[in-house]
Chain A
């Protein structure tokens, strides 16, 4: 029975492969067929690694045949975001700058997945250098939302979310700097978690904003997210910002018991900026918690209104330095007509970075410039601390903060791409979590009348992913409806 493997959870696949009930190769072939069937509509993949996938799967099968215990993600087909460094294939960051770039090493998370016996199907689309909320900023191609092909999958991990949602992989790794895992997970109806800053190694994640970036999984179930976190979390000697804390078995947190859990609702997240169709679904989700013994409390995050401003100063400042290395000297695009060193820099960067990347580099350069530093960057750092204090205070009153992931469901291509400010507002509810270095996640909580997914966002104290997963898992098991599958064939 191989028919529907592409809709199985990572957990089901892992168990079946480990026990020998199915071969990893059969599962892989099922996914390859699924990709063949829907990819021309979804366009999630930027690289397909069919041979790599088959050979990885074969290795897992040999392991099982030898009687060894296959890893915790044995035979699970995975798609990797384009900005994770891999020795296999290219690492393009969906940019013309790196269209032919091959990384000499694997990112720590990639290595950990491989050691857990996962199978890599290829790499998936994203906004160029993770800058965007719709994947429209990809220099490679647009990716479509499996729930409505006229709509965007969100971003920047849009390819990851679309692939998971369309059954083109069992799980995917994305990265989240201001919402780039949670927002596309919300728009595509899947589970996405941004772990606490420092929980997952950033080594080999091409940096956008170093103090905000974090790698995390996009999955179809909460349990799969826990399973993936078990594999990718933990101290890495190659990342000085990775936390030296023990990694629990996250799946053990999925007890289904939320009695006594205090859930805070920040009043700043339920204003007019939230569309009615989203509000309705979020409020219904809160009721599920209330009905099962959680305590619902009102909390306030008064500095929320500054989050977007603070974020676009800090992330652009860091990005302006992080992207400076793409200069055409050692790798990446070098303009063939550049004759001097100055021309090499200016012409290469101008030609190979898209407009959003250029905009952010210029913004970041500006806010760090002599005479502006204090007014922008330094002030933003101060407000960032205030935002964190808001959360500290709120978490005195509650264990989990709940709210919308995105102010609106998915939107049609081009709807916001001419107005960067409006696009920036897509992340209004997710950005604070990054600024405050908290764990945050999005869980599907229904469909709008137009059939577009809505996501419930949950946030917890630093390094309390277990609380987050417990709440999300409880909700998933008790929401009282099935999200169903996207209409893509």
Chain B
């Protein structure tokens, strides 16, 4: 009997609004502990929440980007449980009437595409952070994170493999970054993913018992954790055992999931409508306003780049991975660069420099029109490709224009036939053995001559001319 995995994802995203969801404290929780706090996010007696409108706007944008229906009337609810990181001992969340529901996200996996249903996306507040590293048996709580806006995005159980889960997270992150609503930094916790995993015999309609895997710090970790969990459950089932509904943690070092909490000790959260906050009423005009502000989304942009610039699916994919990267690319093309060459230089050479410097495209000192100017220098034969890479590296560190670098360093390509002929003759004269080998038919030696001539011209020889003249002179 074959088993099929049934997976649903719950993703918590910290929304990057300037202030917290229910108070005006800044959301920057890297500040020294307990400095971005006020009576509201500390849960002081008498303090009241006021919903941040920017959070609602950004949540609506996410909902629309995920094809969700935006509720005309939704509300906040109290989710009651006791824990020291929860200032009020209830979390303000949304229970039965989320802001967004009934959407879908198209993902690409194994060369095909698949639709993952989005059950809902709802607004809530983040908790404080506990630390147990203070020593002396003491625990500390940092409330800087308390009240940071969170959007929880829940999928239908449409995911069938760890790879699909990974593709879903990648596509979701891409959309969130396009919308500029979150850093999506999993290590810093601004994006947190949980997977509900169950197995069922292939072809069966009913679900098996699920486990929930939490506390994973990376997308690849999620993929590995799901792979492990599928294998574990399959082993249990094949050996005649039963799956216990529970929450399982992920031990990245050992590469295993482990039991954290059994279902019997699951909380009764005693949800009820938050009386301190009026209902959230989003009318057509509000929704339209947000819809008009939506940027072109990744999938649409990828398809447009393919059609408009004749890019390969791969190049279009790589370029549209980030909105900033795609914006940069289109600026380079708008500055007159050939779209395909621009794609190559961007995805290979510039990307390499960025990766090495661990820099984002937004911080890149090479302006899009400067990159276009560099490509023009290659086109017109001013410099060759090899020199161009050096120039780009210089542009990347100094921010200078390619022309001034070429001028300053005298990197202009030598297209003077006489100068190249001189160099060729010099090289041939100094290499009688290689000439003999070449004449015996050893074509490989030709490369040696090219190298020597380029060396003699400090790399500036026009490669085409060098080839031509070498052939002519050697063939004599």
Interface residues of A (CB under 8 A from B): 83-85, 91, 93, 98, 101, 103-105, 107, 202-207, 209-211, 237-241, 317-318, 320-321, 324-327, 329-331, 341, 345, 365, 368-370, 373, 377
Contact = CB atoms under 8 A, between A and B. Distances in A.
A209 B434 CA distance: 97
A58 B384 CA distance: 86
13 contacts: A85-B45, A204-B46, A205-B46, A207-B276, A209-B275, A240-B49, A318-B275, A321-B90, A321-B270, A330-B44, A368-B80, A373-B272, A377-B272
Q: Which 10 A-B pairs have the closest CB atoms?
A: A324-B89, A211-B275, A210-B275, A368-B270, A206-B45, A204-B46, A85-B46, A370-B268, A325-B43, A206-B46
A454 to B, nearest CB: 33
Nearest to B49: A240
Interface residues of B, number: 28
Contacts of A211: 275
Contact of B276 (A105, A107, A210, A327): A210
A240 B46 contact: no
A231 to B, nearest CB: 19
- Main SS of the interface on chain B? loop
A321 B39 CA distance: 17
A240 B44 contact: no
Interface of B: 39, 42-51, 78, 80, 82, 84, 87-90, 141, 268, 270-272, 275-278
Contacts of B45: 85, 91, 93, 98, 101, 103, 206-207, 325-326
A105 B42 CA distance: 13
Nearest to B267: A370
A173 to B, nearest CB: 13
Contacts of A330: 42-44, 87, 141
Contacts of A204: 46-47
Contacts of A105: 39, 44, 47
A354 to B, nearest CB: 17
Contact of B46 (A107, A237, A329, A365): A107
* Of B42, B45, B50, B271, most A-chain CB atoms within 10 Å: B45
Contacts of B270: 320-321, 365, 368-370, 373
A331 to B, nearest CB: 7
B288 to A, nearest CB: 24
A317 B42 CA distance: 22
Contacts, number: 102
A85 B141 CA distance: 24
- Main SS of the interface on chain A? loop
A207 B46 contact: yes
B276 A345 contact: no
Nearest to B89: A324
A97 B222 CA distance: 44
Given A241-B276, A330-B43, A325 B89 contact: yes
A101 B51 CA distance: 27
Nearest to A129: B45
A91 B46 CA distance: 10
Given A104-B39, A202-B48, 9 more contacts: A103-B45, A203-B46, A207-B45, A237-B50, A320-B270, A321-B80, A325-B87, A368-B271, A373-B270
B54 to A, nearest CB: 15
A368 B278 CA distance: 20
Contacts of B89: 321, 324-325, 327
Contacts of A365: 270
Contacts of B82: 324, 327, 345
A324 B268 contact: no
Contacts of A327: 82, 84, 89
A128 to B, nearest CB: 13
Contacts of A341: 84
A370 B267 CA distance: 10
Contact of B90 (A101, A104, A324, A331): A324
A33 to B, nearest CB: 32
Given A85-B46, A330-B42, A341-B84, A240 B275 contact: no
Contacts of A83: 46
Contacts of A317: 272
Contacts of A207: 45-46, 276
A369 B271 CA distance: 9
Contacts of A91: 45-46
A127 B28 CA distance: 41
Contacts of A240: 48-51, 276-278
Contacts of A324: 80, 82, 88-90
A204 to B, nearest CB: 4
Contact of B48 (A93, A101, A238, A326): A238
Contacts of B84: 327, 329, 341
Contacts of B271: 368
A340 to B, nearest CB: 12
Nearest to A106: B46
A85 B51 CA distance: 22
Contacts of B90: 321, 324
Nearest to B85: A329
A344 to B, nearest CB: 9
A209 B82 CA distance: 19
Contacts of A239: 48, 50
A179 to B, nearest CB: 19
A321 B272 contact: yes
Contacts of A331: 44
Nearest to A324: B89
A17 B80 CA distance: 50
Contacts of B87: 325, 330
B36 to A, nearest CB: 15
A154 to B, nearest CB: 23
A152 B47 CA distance: 31
A345 B80 CA distance: 14
